[in-house]
Structure formats: structure tokens, C-alpha cells
Amino acid sequence: MRHFLKTTDLSAREIIELVQDAIANKGEHSNILAGKSLGMIFAKPSTRTRVSFTVGAYELGGHVMFISEREMQLGRGETIEDTARVLSAYLDGVVIRTYSQDDLERFAAAATIPVINGLTDERHPCQALADLMTIREYHDDLTKVKVVYLGDGNNVSTSLASVCAAVGAHVVVCTPPDLASPEWAVREAIGLAAASGGVAEYTTDPATAVRGADFLYTDVWFSMGQQKNPLKSRQLEPYRIDEAMLAQTSPECRVMHCLPAHRGEEISAAVLDGPRSIVYQQAENRLHAQKELMKRLMVDAQA
Ligand code: CP
């Protein structure tokens, strides 16, 4: 069974083709998912992931069922494996947003339908596909692009680094020393870059990181489920994308954010709402990229 639990579940070639098809097929309405049902099990809030998968499946002729994890028997002790086996009998694919990547992988191991990671604490691979699609809309040659992530070494940064490294881009993850990416993520990105001819760098110095950047990218300082704390905010202050940070880049450098954003924390309002921000295009691309993903997992892989 073909799942999408992490960006490395697709080869570099498959990622590039998916992104190109997503650009070419924007606005597609078809019946390719006719008769198929997509379940969406979410344990955390969502605006973009939930709505873009719902609309995307609808535009491909499929049916979608949203299931809050709180309302399932999982919360009363039914096992992940039993849930996966039973839902596999009803559904043709499932998007899961949860906390633990291990729980997601347990679900996928027991499922006989494609499982898509709609975000875990460790990874956000669907976001990374839309990010790469957006980058590709500005640069034909991904091997000549420098993408700099600034902020917390979180799930968005791990998947962004992984997907950029896989396709041969130059990715820099710039975090405070105490908020660095986990070792597994660093190993993964550096290994992918070695194979693709790309570069994956990890640093704590924003001034050198942003030099020559084509894209600056940031995400919230406090991910879902994390309490705000003043020490972490102080550590992240120098990594905020604001006018001064942007002034260190070329006028062509664009600004990305997966949203939701907190203006005045990880990014200034002037930058987020300014002419170099491409965040709404990036958000729209969730829809286009995920339609291509559903086609590959729920149709092509079943043929
Ligand atoms: N970027 C993202 O995943 O947005 P949601 O949390 O709204 O789905």
C-alpha cells in the first residue's frame, strides 16, 4: 500500500512530476475519484489542510468525511490498529492530523488504504509539496534555488528541508541553538542533498544564512499544543522576518509562511502583507498539490 507519511515516501522524480502536474492542472475538475471516499481524522485544528483536501476531493468527484478524533472510539481505548483495519473497509483513503508520527505509522502499517500525513509533531509533508510547487512557480530550475528557513526547528522546517534537499535545492535551516532541528531530520536532509547534488545547511546565524536567498520562510514560534513561553520568544527574536531582515536580501527574494501567522512574532505585518510575500499563493497551492497526491495514491497506485 502506498502511503504519504513523509516526503521521502515519494522519490525526487515523483516529487518534481507531482509539482509540475499540480501547476499544469490547476483548476481541474474531473470524476477521477468518483465512487471513492476520503476520510479525514483530525486531532488538532486546521483551516487549510481540512478545507483544501475537502474541496480537492470534491473537485475530483470524490466524497469526503471529516471525523474529529475526539468523537471516535480511539478516545475510549479502541486500538489504532483496529481503527485502521475497520476504516480500511469503508474508505478509499484517509488523511490524519495527529500528534505522534509513530501513531500515524502504526495506523498506516495496519491500514489497507492509502494514509496521508496531514501534520504530525515531526512532519508536515503536504505543506512541503505546496511549498515546493510555489517555489517552482518562480524558478524553473530548482537546483539553482536557495531557500532559507528562519525560526523554530519544527515539523514544517523538517519537511521543507527534506523536500528541498531531495530535489537538489540549497536549503538552509537557521534556528537558535536550543531550538535546532532534531538529529534525524538533519541526517535525512543532508543525506538527500548528498544524493541529489543539493545542499542542506544548519546554522544559528541569520545574517549569513539569508545572504543570496531566493526565499525566506518562517513559521509560528509556538506550534499547536505548545504553551507560549517568554524565554523561547526571546531566543527567536533575532530570527523574525521583518523589514531589516528582508533588506539583507535581493529585491527578488520572496517571503513564505505556511500560515496561520502571528504578525509581530515570527514575521512583521509589513513583510507578511507586503509585495514580496507569496503566502496566499502558497496556501492556495495546498489545494492543487494535494489533488495530484490523491490521484497518485487513491487512483494510480490502485490500478
Ligand atoms: N499550514 C497548515 O497546515 O494550515 P492549517 O493548520 O490551517 O491546516
Domain that holds residue 249: 128-283
Let me know whether 79 and 91 are in one domain: yes
- Expressed in angstroms and rounded, the spacing between residue 194 Cα and the centre of ligand 1 is 30
Is residue 2 situated within a structural domain?
no
What order of strands is seen across the sheet that includes strand 63-68? Answer: 63-68, 37-42, 93-97, 115-117
Provide the pLDDT for residue 224.
85
Is residue 150 situated within a structural domain?
yes
Q: What's the angle, vertex CA 95, arms to CA 196 and CA 302, rounded to 5?
A: 75
Is residue 37 situated within a structural domain?
yes
Let me know whether 202 and 139 are in one domain: yes
pTM: 0.97
Instruction: Measure the CA–CA gap between 258 and 129, rounded to whole angstroms.
Output: 11
pLDDT of 248 above 80? yes
Is residue 178 situated within a structural domain?
yes
CB 116 within 8 A of CB 94: yes
Looking at the DSSP bridge assignments, the partners of residue 68 are 42
Confidence of residue 229 (pLDDT cuts 50, 70, 90): very high
Is residue 257 situated within a structural domain?
yes
What average pLDDT does the chain have? 97
Provide the pLDDT for residue 100.
97
46 lines ligand 1 (CB under 6 A): yes
224 CA closest ligand 1 atom index: 6
48 lines ligand 1 (CB under 6 A): yes
The number of distinct structural domains making up the chain is 2
Is residue 1 situated within a structural domain?
no
* Residue of 259, 267, 282 to mutate, ligand 1, most atoms within 8 A of C-beta: 259
Let me know whether 77 and 179 are in one domain: no
Let me know whether 168 and 259 are in one domain: yes
Sign of the C-alpha dihedral, residues 102, 178, 255, 12? negative
pLDDT of 303 above 80? no
Q: How far is CA 179 from CA 152, 154, 174, in A?
A: 6, 8, 10
224 lines ligand 1 (CB under 6 A): no
- Expressed in angstroms and rounded, the spacing between residue 197 Cα and the centre of ligand 1 is 31
Q: What is the CATH number of the domain that holds 264?
A: 3.40.50.1370
Let me know whether 108 and 192 are in one domain: no
Let me know whether 140 and 46 are in one domain: no
Let me know whether 96 and 152 are in one domain: no
Let me know whether 195 and 293 are in one domain: no
Let me know whether 112 and 180 are in one domain: no
Let me know whether 118 and 144 are in one domain: no
Is residue 156 situated within a structural domain?
yes
Let me know whether 264 and 156 are in one domain: yes
Confidence of residue 225 (pLDDT cuts 50, 70, 90): confident
- Expressed in angstroms and rounded, the spacing between residue 286 Cα and the centre of ligand 1 is 9
Provide the pLDDT for residue 1.
80
pLDDT of 193 above 80? yes
